[in-house]
Structure 1
Amino acid sequence: MKLRHVDKPQYRKMTNQVQFGVIAILAISSLVFGQMLIAILSSATVVAGQPTGNFYFNFGGVIMGLMLCTLVVKHGRKKPQYADVYYVWQLKQLQNKIYRKLNAIQQAAADNNVNALTILCFYYQSLAIVYELDNNTLTMTEVNRQISLLEQQIKDSNLSCNADDFKVELLGDF
């Protein structure tokens, strides 16, 4: 995966649309599916003061609503207007994979392992992109500090590596 520029206002607009849309679809479809299941499968007799026993039908409606949301997102991610949202989502997933192996990668980077340094270059630069897009200014200074320390280590070791050299396969070494 290559790092690329993402238009922040457009990304924020599309992210808000996706979040609102998924929440609306989930809420409405859960109610509709739940009511349909109750109408089709529930017993007709209801005793006053007693539970209706429709919990599982309502729960089934929520599950069906989640399945519908999954289908909508799976189909919608291919649309060009949501390309940035999908790209950042994939980037966050990749950051999570790297984070799970971060201790081993940092230890190898301390020994000037080129693959580890390449992974860290990608990781910190991708964090900077995502933090900027999500207005996460609290941890941005720490990420910038990590980037400068890494760049200094690469320069001092006379190595050549950058984020463009990153491939997911490099994670297999750690």
Structure 2
Amino acid sequence: MTLTDIDKVRYRRRLNHVFIGSGLALAALSLLFSQLLIALFPDPSGSHFHWNALGVLVAAAIVGMGLSHYRHHSYLTEVLYVWELKRSLNKITRKMRKIEAAAKLGNINALQALQFSYAGSRQLWLLDDNIIIMDELAVKQAELDVLAEKFNVTLDIADYEESMLSEF
């Protein structure tokens, strides 16, 4: 994955539209399917919990399939990019201890993965206005720069590939 600059305002507006639209669709479809199931299969005891639960599950599946189907629509470009960025960063985070240990030993793939992680996290946090721990990230970036200089490695986020994580 390559990092791409995106318009923060447009991203936030479209993300809100996707969340609100998904929530409204989930609520409406849940009610529709639940009421339909209750009407088709009434329970004499008056308990319709299982039909309500099934209605919510069916609605969630339909909303999920709809999002999956339209994920490459131009309206969702920024939203999809951020979802993919979060997925990529999560893959690195799951292996962070091993990556950090290898980076201290001069492993180039580990250094590249950390560079991508820090740059991606910085972009993500700026997009989401989550700048609380940005100072901590700057410290980690400075430590990474020292390691890169120590091992004479030039770090470029464009050189990062997810396949680099397979060795950790």
TM-score tier by shorter-chain length is over 0.9
1:42, distance to aligned residue in structure 2 (A): 1.5
**Aligned equivalent of 1:35:** 35
Q: Distance in 1 between matches of 2:5 and 2:141?
A: 18
**Aligned equivalent of 2:68:** 74
Per-residue Cα deviation, 1:19-58 (whole angstroms, up to 9, x for no partner)? 1111111111101110011011124x4xxxxx51211000
The answer to whether the aligner puts 1:62 opposite 2:56 as a matched pair is: yes
The answer to whether the aligner puts 1:125 opposite 2:128 as a matched pair is: no
Per-residue Cα deviation, 1:70-127 (whole angstroms, up to 9, x for no partner)? 1111122111121110010011011111111000000000001000000000001000
| Regions of 4+ moved over 4 Å | none
Identity %: 33
**Aligned equivalent of 2:147:** 153
| C-alpha contact 1:128 1:144 (8 A) present in aligned 2 | no
TM-score, normalised to structure 1's length? 0.93
Unaligned stretches of 5+ residues in structure 1: 46-50
The amino acid across from 2:67 in the alignment is V
**Aligned equivalent of 2:16:** 16
Pick the structure with greater CA Rg: 1
Q: Distance in 2 between matches of 1:19 and 1:144?
A: 31
Range that drifts further, 69-78 or 101-110: 69-78
Unaligned stretches of 5+ residues in structure 2: none
**Aligned equivalent of 2:136:** 142
The amino acid across from 1:86 in the alignment is L
Match of 1:99 among 93, 100, 117: 93
The amino acid across from 1:23 in the alignment is G
| C-alpha contact 2:103 2:147 (8 A) present in aligned 1 | no
The answer to whether the aligner puts 1:166 opposite 2:163 as a matched pair is: no
The amino acid across from 1:32 in the alignment is L
Q: Alignment RMSD, CA only?
A: 1.1
The amino acid across from 2:61 in the alignment is M
| C-alpha contact 1:119 1:170 (8 A) present in aligned 2 | yes
TM-score, normalised to structure 2's length? 0.96
The amino acid across from 1:19 in the alignment is F
Q: Distance in 2 between matches of 1:42 and 1:144?
A: 61
The amino acid across from 1:88 in the alignment is V
